[in-house]
Amino acid sequence: MCGIVGKINFDGPVDAALLHRMCHAMRHRGPSSRGTYVTDGVAIGMQRLAIIDVAGGDQPMFNEDRSIAVVMNGEIYNFQALRAELLGRGHTFSSRADTEVLVHLYEEVGERMVERLRGMFAFAVWDSRRRELLLGRDRVGKKPLFWSRRGATVWFASEMMAMLQDPEVERTPNQLALANYLTFQYVPDPLCAFAGVEKLPPATTVRFTADGHSTSEYWALDYEHKLDNAPEPELEEQLRELLWEATRLRLISEVPLGAFLSGGIDSSAVVAAMAHQMSEPVKTFSIGFGAQDFDELRYARIVAERFSTDHHEFQVEPEALSSVIPKLACHYGEPFADPSAIPSFYLAELTARHVTVALNGDGGDESFGGYRRYVGSSLPARFDWLPRPLRRLIPHLVRPLGEGDRLNSNRTRIQRLALTIAMDERDRYAHWMSSFHATMHGRTFTPQFARSLGDWRANSLLTDRWAASTATARIDRMLDVDVHSYLPGDLLVKMDIATMAHSVEARSPFLDHQLMEFAASLPAHLKLHGMQGKRILKSALRGVIPDTILDRPKMGFGVPLLHWFRDELKDLPAEVLLDPGARSKAYVFPEAVEKMIREHQAAEADHSLRLWVLLQLEYWHREVVESPLLEDRDLVAVAHREPD
């Protein structure tokens, strides 16, 4: 696990000192060593977190005549089989590291190498003979990769703050990206919060030459072809085997490893699979809050006791929030407002004291239908038999009820149901996934900001994906949309940044592409059946993990922002967002912000998520857009800890 960075100038030289500043900006991703490669117009670097072949796996790595160089962030779980195959074809290896298979696989099949890889990765291959740069990203987007091109110059980096160390990279906010952020809490690929920069989408490669560049998508899930005739017990057995195998592959490590344990089904299943395949107790790590509604520690303890794990816990206090916000902004590099980034950040910090690799349950919901919204967003469809004019009246009829004081209150749910009854399926789902939903933009966005967006449609990120999906069942279509949006744009970004900020590698068995392909092929009723999600996953794990875990309501990795912004941290939103110099005033009416703060503190509505979205936007401007460049004196303190 590492951070990679580079600058290619097809027309001139590059600055080696700049490469070191870029590496230093993401040194937390790889404190074990730094590797650089600087030649004619090429500067490629990486920060290494040593996991496999600790002694001999430093990067960049080269082929036999050093005409091809590669740097990679991630892990290739089938590297041993690929290595044996490549040795049989006459290739010579100088290490036991997984990264080296990329060099020789590229020699064999070129850009199609990605089709052979099983793992999580973002890589850069420089082919000096052809003067070509190839960037690639894993199928679901576990590992990030930013890139930019201006004329003959190309930049790439695992984190935005590394790229911003080059003064030639402009820091102009991308208005379209920020509009999507305000709507969905994250900036979706290929957009970046900075104009002129892009994020490489999952399952995509991009090839650069002096004459231009081209992208190619190499993988997508198939929801059309179903295992309709297979007996359910056989499917359950196959599911367990795939999950156990995916977990086994992710236990390959030369450093200590453990698992994040929330007490939910997915993380509990991963811990079960680890416990059945490890000779020593699994180290498990959990986090909680003082608020009972958000604390899952009691469930995590049940699983820890069941599998006799070496269990560790941590509790987040509201006082820690004000100090962590600037850190979050710096590490994410773009505005990012999933509140669960807070406990994820602290959980990774706790974990780093004990292990270097941590497995988690990410991806289970998006494959097997675990979110409550999969049930909730289908409820309005029951009213589709009503004439559309009548459905359009319903929101006006229930509006006098007002909003509830909590997002999960009955009044709030009634308002949301009434508002979405008149929508079609695509817009309904987009509404469920929005913080500042489309109906709010007119009274929230400033005129200048709104004009800068042109004909942008607020819901297009999700509605376009909905229309493009070939899935026929509603649940499969929602899963398809989430795999292309929420999963890579929110969940995987959150986990990558939280863990890498503390030099921890996160591995996700549920995101194994073979397991995901199997899940996509399952009939829809085995995922969502009536009001029950994850039907087949639960039945496959019955008897393996406790019934208490399988049958408990889904809680989610929530944060008590509602209470914090009314009690311990009630002054924070006003102090930051209503400050005369607040940068968020360029996007959102101050009067609208003041109204949200007033209504939230009076318990007239729950605006906690929207206030958090605006706070993160504000701190992104302060800590990232306006951050100073690293200077040479900033690098001296770590020169001896990070050998070149």
Of 172, 196, 202, 199, the C-alpha closest to 187 is 199
Q: Which 3 state secondary structure label does DSSP give 607?
A: coil
pLDDT at 557: 58
CB 316 within 8 A of CB 143: no
Strand-strand pairing, 68-76 and 119-127: antiparallel
Entry field: residues in the chain: 644
Strands (DSSP E) along 249-329, which ranges? 257-260, 283-289, 310-316
What's residue 70's pLDDT? 97
Q: How far apart are CA 451 and CA 324, in angstroms?
A: 34
Q: What is the dihedral of CA 75, 79, 80, 83, to 10 degrees?
A: -140
Q: How far apart are CA 514 and CA 504, in angstroms?
A: 25
How far, rounded to the nearest angstrom, does the alpha carbon of residue 219 sit from its chain's CA centroid? Answer: 18
pLDDT tens digits, one per residue of 611-638:
999 999 999 999 999 999 887 656 644 3
Burial category of 128 from C-beta neighbours within 10 Å (exposed 0-12, middle 13-18, buried 19 and up): middle
> Alpha-carbon distance 184 to 179, whole Å?
9
Q: What are the pLDDT digits (tens) for 547-572?
A: 999 998 876 656 788 888 999 899 99
End-to-end CA distance of the chain: 17
Domain ranges of the chain: 2-219
Given 3.40.1280.10, 3.40.190.10, 3.60.20.10, 1.10.10.10, which CATH number is that of 2-219? Answer: 3.60.20.10
At residue 121, the pLDDT reads: 98
CA distance 148 to 208: 11
CA–CA distance, 189 with 623 (Å, rounded to integer): 22
Residue in this structure with the two tokens 């930019």, named with its chain if needed: 148
pTM of the model: 0.93
**Are residues 37 and 60 in contact, defined by beta-carbon separation less than 8 angstroms?**
yes
Q: What is the average pLDDT across 6-17?
A: 95
The number of CA neighbours under 13 Å toward the Cβ of 395 is 12
Average pLDDT for 390-404:
68
Q: Tell me the torsion sign for CA atoms 160, 161, 166, 172.
A: positive
Q: Per-residue pLDDT averaged across 106-112, rounded?
A: 97
Confidence of residue 425 (pLDDT cuts 50, 70, 90): confident
639: confidence class by pLDDT, cuts 50, 70, 90: very low
Please give the biggest Cα pair distance in the chain.
Answer: 76
Structure confidence at residue 403 (pLDDT): 66
Instruction: Identify the pLDDT of residue 462.
Output: 93
3-state secondary structure of 39: strand
Residues 6 or more apart whose Cβ sits within 8 Å of residue 591: none
Q: Residue 412's pLDDT is what?
A: 66
